Structure 1
Amino acid sequence: MKKLITTFSIAAGLFLTTNFVNAQQKIGHVNSDDIFANLPEAKTAEASLDTFTKTKQGEIEKMITTYQTKLKAAQDKEKTISEANKETVIKELTAAQTELQTLGKGIEEARTKAAQDISKKQTELFTPIQQKVSNMISTVAKEKGLAYVFDVATSQGNSNIAYMDGGEDITPSVKSKLGATGAAKASK
């Protein structure tokens, strides 16, 4: 019986020690929105994406202007219809209608292609930066001995944080190591 009590005590002690050690894992948080907002590479990528987007929008606007010009010309031509030129004008209007349909389809295709190109460009520009930030978060977390780091950024949805009281905010360390500048934003 004494042996059973001793074994039970040792098992209980090991169980409690394991729970105590597990309870001592350090948890930190980071605000990736703050890092990206102050990271020079992200600002450059954002400016490049904005320029690319404006170029695509300009191309589509030019197509729309052409469409509107041809539509107005067809509407003006329709007003000139008379018994004497009816056959000629109807042929011209039919041709204009076909051309307008083709232009309209081209505009929609250009919009779809532009959206795809912008998405591709965004991925091309931001994926390396996101990987760099992710790697730096891992590096800082390891340096600080953190077991978990939660991203408290609004863009991440805060979906994986039920409650946060304290913890270590490693955002300044990650920003510093990446060369990002700017004041920290308050996190929830």
Structure 2
Amino acid sequence: MNKIKFLVVAFFFISFASFAQTNEQATKIGYANVEEILSKMPERASMQKELEVYGQKLQEQFASKETEYNTKLQAYQKGASTMDKVVREDKERELMNLEQSIQKFQYDAQMSIREKEQSLIQPVLVKIENAIKDVAKENGYLYILSEQAILEGPESGSINNLVFKKLGVDPNKQPAAAQQAQPQQQQPAAAKPATTTTPAKKKKK
């Protein structure tokens, strides 16, 4: 899914809470790859499917608006030369308003898909965060860092497997969605209609 990495980074931008230890205890630091953990979560399949269905509905609405515009544009182009000045200018205003409506729908749809994606992923990220905190407490880690921020470190520092165990997730089992080729997510806001060009008004004599 698009923007997943961005959402993960945004959600986990702040460091995980540190866990109190006495000064006599050695500092124990671990790291986790939240993006990898998320990719193995069973919720991922249903989350992706719901987002695709949501995007398809917006795409259908966009297509309907585009069809309406193109139909009226073709009618205008066909009859503009025989239209009365008042009628012609009214048709031009109508086309301009439709074009603006399409542009606004494109922007709103893109924002809506982004918000929908965030609302779907947020509960899963919270679940992962809580599991990481539990693993840190149970295993005496003072800090848990993001693996993406580690330039070099021992493999033993990774707590991914401990987190998978805490979540009851088998990391060797691919989620249903990952077993299939992922279709491109449709976003109505990707581009303007090819024919969305407001007709120029004729010069007054």
> In the alignment, does 2:52 pair up with 1:63?
no
Residue in 1 that maps onto 2:95: 100
> What SS is found at the alignment partner of 1:146?
coil
The one-letter amino acid paired with 1:56 is L
Contact kept, 8 Å, 1:29 with 1:150, in 2: the verdict is yes
Residue in 1 that maps onto 2:136: 141
Structure 1 unaligned segments of length 5 or more: list them: 1-17, 153-157
Q: Write out per-residue CA displacement over residues 117-171 of structure 1, whole angstroms, 9 at most, x where no aligned residue.
A: 223222322211111110001111222211222222xxxxx2x334323342211
Moved more, 34-43 or 170-179: 170-179
- Equivalents in 2 of 1:51, 1:110: separation in Å? 18
Moved more, 112-121 or 49-58: 112-121
- Equivalents in 2 of 1:73, 1:181: separation in Å? 60
Residue in 2 that maps onto 1:155: none
Residue in 1 that maps onto 2:145: 150
Structure 2 unaligned segments of length 5 or more: list them: 1-22, 174-205
TM-score, normalising length from structure 1? 0.70
- Runs of at least 4 residues off by over 4 Å: none
- Equivalents in 1 of 2:38, 2:95: separation in Å? 44
> What SS is found at the alignment partner of 1:164?
coil
Contact kept, 8 Å, 1:35 with 1:175, in 2: the verdict is yes
Distance of aligned partners of 1:62 and 1:181 in 2 relative to their CA distance in 1, 3 Å threshold: farther
The one-letter amino acid paired with 2:164 is K
How far did residue 26 of structure 1 move?
A: 2.0
Distance of aligned partners of 1:176 and 1:38 in 2 relative to their CA distance in 1, 3 Å threshold: same
How far did residue 89 of structure 1 move?
A: 4.2
Residue in 2 that maps onto 1:111: 106
> What SS is found at the alignment partner of 1:136?
helix
Structure showing greater Rg:
1
- Equivalents in 2 of 1:167, 1:93: separation in Å? 74
How far did residue 103 of structure 1 move?
A: 0.6
How far did residue 60 of structure 1 move?
A: 1.4
> In the alignment, does 2:58 pair up with 1:46?
no
How far did residue 36 of structure 1 move?
A: 0.9
- Equivalents in 2 of 1:181, 1:166: separation in Å? 19
- Equivalents in 2 of 1:162, 1:58: separation in Å? 45
Residue in 1 that maps onto 2:126: 131
- Equivalents in 2 of 1:174, 1:95: separation in Å? 64
Residue in 1 that maps onto 2:164: 175
User: May I ask how many residue pairs the two structures share in their alignment?
Assistant: 152
Larger relative helix fraction: 1
The one-letter amino acid paired with 2:162 is S
Identity %: 26
How far did residue 59 of structure 1 move?
A: 1.1
TM-score, normalising length from structure 2? 0.65
Contact kept, 8 Å, 2:30 with 2:144, in 1: the verdict is yes
